[in-house]
Structure 1
Amino acid sequence: MESLKRPGGRSARVRDAVRQATLAELAEHGYGGMTVEAIAARSGVHKTTVYRRWRGVEGLIADALDLARDEPWPIPDTGSVQQDLRGVVALVGTGFADPAQGPVASAFIAAAMQSAEAAAALRGFLTARNEQAAVVVRRAVERGELPSDTDALEVIRAAVAPVYYRLFITHEPVSTRDAERAADAALAAARARVLT
């Protein structure tokens, strides 16, 4: 796997081609419909290479999530913690509603429910995303909008959790008002020093 970490060259091109094929297969067929053979054919990489490097579908999912972990996220900076938190929650909701990215994101969740390797990769991805989003809470602490001992990551988790609950537990749509309410509830908990 060490050769996969090189910034350029053939290994990087192979990894990128396989990742793009993995995402396309996820979008089209979901986790349950993915096969190494289809990903190999779509990427133009021989299936023995795919098996050798990624071991199977779970490894492909984990690698795609690992690569996505460090991608930047357009975190809002409005100068208001309420608007910033609402923006973060809206990003999560609209990401799943996006016709191109939504099926891939949903497939990652489904994969994590069926594979320990995919679950660990998803946890790492979400931890990185939450850390990126936590900057809105840290800025609010610096501005004096929230108590100094506020746990920024817990505020983000509390804000986005209702979106995941609606989407993946009760299978309900997430309206703008639902997203705002989730953000406002997390903010109220932070102000009440529940999330320290």
Structure 2
Amino acid sequence: MSLTVAIDGPAAAGKGTIARAVAEHFGFAHLDTGLLYRAVGRRTLNGEGAIMAAQSLTAEDVADADALRTPDVAQAASQVAAMPEVRAALVDFQRAFARRIGGAVLDGRDIGTVICPDAEVKLFVTATDDVRARRRHKELVGKGHEVTLEEVAADLAERDRRDAARITAPMTAAADALLLDTSTLSIDDAVARAIERVGQQASAAI
């Protein structure tokens, strides 16, 4: 069986947590597509051109996820993600992953709208700006980063603006996506709803 689950949404809304839980529950492969752009962004911070970095990206570039989750890498990732040439270089990799035998879950910003518009299941995970800022601040502080809540909120706002306003593949919910607002919904409940939706489609595909 080849079933694709596309999960989109802004940073710190909980889409990664939900994606990992869904993948584990069904035994699907999981790809955090944001790591691809973070890996490209990190290479640009080292002086490499964004397009060349995207075209030559390897599995080793995304092996250390923690090293890719710093504030400076996040900003660089958002900047390179707005470049059509970078996005084009990474499309084939993502689409091939999505159609692997055994099922796949991909989370990002444009999975259900651009990368996998024919995905059997589409989810859009969101939360209020305040909730997302507090979550991300707690996460960063827990990893030893010295950053204020105000700085995190400003960073998220800038990334949201850039992701939603870019000409190529702006972040938006697919028309047929299930909306999960985790600012009023616990992660456990959100995961349960996601699993229910995927289970329905998996049964229909048998």
Q: TM tier, shorter chain?
A: 0.3 to 0.5
More helix by share: 1
TM-score (norm 1): 0.34
Q: With CA pairs under 8 Å and 6+ residues apart, which has the higher RCO, 1 or 2? A: 2
Name which one, 1 or 2, has greater alpha-carbon Rg: 1
Which has the larger strand fraction?
2
